[in-house]
Every structure is written in structure tokens, then in C-alpha cells.
Amino acid sequence: SSWWRSVEPAPKDPILGVTEAFLADPSPDKVNVGVGAYRDDNGKPVVLECVREAERRIAGNQNMEYLPMGGSVKMVEETLKLAYGEDSEFIKDKRIAAVQALSGTGACRLFADFQKRFSPDSQIYIPVPTWANHHNIWRDAHVPQRTYHYYHPESKGLDFAALMDDVKNAPNGSFFLLHACAHNPTGVDPSEDQWREISYQIKVKGHFPFFDMAYQGFASGDPERDAKAIRIFLEDGHAIGIAQSYAKNMGLYGQRVGCLSVLCEDEKQAIAVKSQLQQLARPMYSNPPVHGALVVSTILGDPELKSLWLKEVKVMADRIIGMRTALRENLEKLGSPLSWKHITEQIGMFCYSGMTPEQVDQLTKEYHIYLTRNGRISMAGVTTGNVGYLANAINEVTK
């Protein structure tokens, strides 16, 4: 008996479905500015030189043994330094419970399941808008979701006042999901002063901040600078959770390398929390993949490779910043009646263009330009070769 007969086709993923449509399009003019995957100025995916060199050093020497349920201790150690700081006292005092995760998605999901298990009546406040998959992750972890104001359409900036009201009005001890840098999809980040006010208010309310940091190094080109929000919260004495990913900033997309960490009050608590995170991982995937973790720990564990990585991540960030300027200038040169200054004011991988779903559909149908229907443009897909074509198409559908 085909018990699955009632199974309906799943809806297309709002982001990955765009990639599928792009790949299916035979047009030579097609442009993919959908998924957040870096491309060089020839529109090609990039494997960083530091990654190639790490692979050369690993080749032939890597065993295929299981990692512990918590993953590679060395990779996790190096990863915590990126988020908490090279000389973090929290690392020294062993207060951080941390496990290797299946990239940023896996880190968020492991946290959501941990939250459900150990704070079963809690909910989570998620920004409007956010990365589409955040809703799926906390839904499948059966954690009720609330929203907080984030993006201000009229100014194409941060709705700071409304955000602060939501923080103040949420019940004490609520969970808040925060994008550490390079907010997806808006590219709008709080200023340093705004982060300080958010941190203060979250502390007053006893809320729990969970940072999703999928783009460290990609926003400004400097991983230290991109961790500023987290450092402010740490200085203010918050307990926090962090999801980290090497998909974008090290280009390890398909290797699925990330890390989930929870800052505890002391080492004893951290040992307990880590053991429970491992308990969640064991029935889910048992232990995480070994290769990507070895690439990361080889790079971050070698001063020469780490400095090469820092140079390469800056090159990627700078290229994107350059494309923001180019796209804005092309639109202005075309005499577009709209203001496009937000293209250069926003930060990170994405530009929240302000285009309507209908305008996006027109871009796809008439110009073979692929982007998500919320008008988000992955700037990594913009090149000196297609920026003129893209600007012209955007001008045509928006003028």
C-alpha cells in the first residue's frame, strides 16, 4: 500500500528554487543574482588559494576515522577565537560549550533543538525580514516564533525605534535571533551605537541573544570588525549563543563546516551543555564531516595560511563593494528617477533593492535575471561584464 500517495510536491524553496530556475534557463544572457554564493568577476565560483594549499598539505595524510560527536576540537578552538576574540577570557576560562556543526544551517538547527529541549515553553523573536530558512528551522524544532521590527521600507534602513519597542515589550527572558553582520536579505546593519543600545536593553530585559554569523569577514572584509556586535554583547556580560559558518568567508559551501557555541557561566556548565549538544547530534547525524573541518583547522592553525585567508576574504568583500558602486552609478547614469543610494549604503552579500515581486518576475521573464522575489540581489553575482545589463533591466522595470 503506497502510504505516501497523499504526499504533495513541496513548494519551491524561495532561494534555492531560483538557482534551479537559473540552471534550467538556456539563455546566454542569463544572470544569477539569487543564492548567496560568491562569484569572481568572470562569474565563476572561487576556491580560495589558502583552501587549495590546505588541501595539498592534507592530501594523502588524512584518515577517515569518525570525529567525536562534537566534531574537530582543533577546528572548534580556532573558530571560537574568530567569534570571541584571540585572547578571549571566556575561552581561557573554558566557559564556552561548542560543537562543530553542519555549517550555519546546522548550527542554527542544533541550537533550535537545544532551545526546545531545555527551554520547552520558550519562543524566539525573529527579525522582519530575515533569511527565509530561519522560519523553517525554528518551525521544525517546534519553537513558536514571534517577530520584531527590523527593516524600514520607506527609508530602506533600520527601523531602530520599532526594534527597540519590540525588545522592551517582549516578555522578560525572551530569545532574540540577531544577525551579527551583513543582515540577510536587507544588507542593513545597526550602527555600533545602536548595537550598544540594543545590548543594553536586552540585558535589562534578561533576553537571550542568539547570533547567526554566516558572513564574518564578508561584510567589511575584516573578520574582527564584523564581530563587533558580538564583542559589545560580551563586554556587557550577556550569555549568548552563536552560529558560525565557513560557507561564504572561506568558500567551503558544500563542505558544510560550521560551529555552534553557547557561552555559559562556568566550565562545569559548559561541559554539561556541550554534552547535551552532542546528545542532540548523535541521533541526527552522529558526528560531522571530517574533510572541511581539517581544511579550516589547517588554515587557521598556520599563521601564513591564516594571513593568506584574511587577504582573500578581503578581496571578495572588496569586489562586492566595488560592484555596489558600479551598479548604483550605472543606474544613475541611465537617469533612473529613483534613488539608489541604498545600494552602496547596505553591507555584505545582499542588496535589498526595493523592487516588488512583480518587477522581479519581469526581470526574470524579460531579461533572464534571477533573484529572489523579495527583490534581494546577491551582489556576488554582479560582474563588470553584467552590471550594465543588470542596471539597464532594473531601470526598465522600475522607471
- Catalytic annotation on 266? no
Q: Which of 113, 159, 189, 212 is catalytic?
A: 212
Residue numbers 37-56 binding ligand CBA by CB under 6 A? none
* Distance (Å, whole) CA 315 – CA 320: 9
- Give the up-direction half-sphere exposure of residue 29: CA atoms within 13 A in the CB hemisphere: 12
Using CB under 6 A as the binding rule, whether residue 184 contacts ligand CBA is answered as yes
Nearest CB to ligand CBA, comparing residues 309 and 330: 309
Q: Which residue's Cβ has the minimum distance to ligand CBA?
A: 36
| Minimum gap (Å) between residue 40 Cβ and ligand CBA | 17
Q: How many residues bind ligand CBA, per CB under 6 A?
A: 15
Query: Which helix H or strand E contains 125, and what residues bound it?
Result: strand 124-128
- Catalytic annotation on 131? yes
Nearest CB to ligand CBA, comparing residues 274 and 376: 376
Nearest CB to ligand CBA, comparing residues 210 and 367: 210
Residue numbers 285-314 binding ligand CBA by CB under 6 A? none
| Minimum gap (Å) between residue 253 Cβ and ligand CBA | 6
DSSP structure string for 363-383: HHHHH-EE--TT-EEEGGG--
- Catalytic annotation on 195? no
Using CB under 6 A as the binding rule, whether residue 36 contacts ligand CBA is answered as yes
**Residues forming a β-bridge with 244:** 213, 259
Using CB under 6 A as the binding rule, whether residue 75 contacts ligand CBA is answered as no
Using CB under 6 A as the binding rule, whether residue 104 contacts ligand CBA is answered as yes
Query: Which helix H or strand E contains 78, and what residues bound it?
Result: helix 73-84
Using CB under 6 A as the binding rule, whether residue 105 contacts ligand CBA is answered as yes
Contact 32, 382 (CB under 8 A): no
| Minimum gap (Å) between residue 1 Cβ and ligand CBA | 36
Question: Phi and psi (nearest 5°) for 100?
Answer: -65, 140
* Distance (Å, whole) CA 5 – CA 10: 14
* Distance (Å, whole) CA 237 – CA 248: 29
User: For residue 143, how far is the Cα from the chain centroid?
Assistant: 20
Q: Residues 6 or more apart from 156 whose CB is under 8 A from it? A: 188, 342, 345, 346, 352, 354
> In terms of residues, how long is the chain?
399
Which amino acid, residue 53?
E
Identify which range of 46-54, 98-106, 194-202, 334-342 contacts ligand CBA by CB under 6 A. Answer: 98-106
Q: Name the one residue in this structure whose C-alpha cell is 533591466.
A: 393
Nearest CB to ligand CBA, comparing residues 212 and 312: 212
Nearest CB to ligand CBA, comparing residues 33 and 393: 33
Residue numbers 119-148 binding ligand CBA by CB under 6 A? 131, 133
Site string for ligand CBA, 252-271 (x = CB under 6 A): ------x-------------
Local structure of residue 337 (DSSP, 8 states): S
**Residues forming a β-bridge with 125:** 146, 176
Nearest CB to ligand CBA, comparing residues 95 and 309: 309
Q: Which spans of this chain sit near ligand CBA (rule: CB under 6 A)?
A: 15, 35-36, 103-105, 131, 133, 179, 184, 212, 214, 245, 247, 258
Active site members: 131, 212, 248
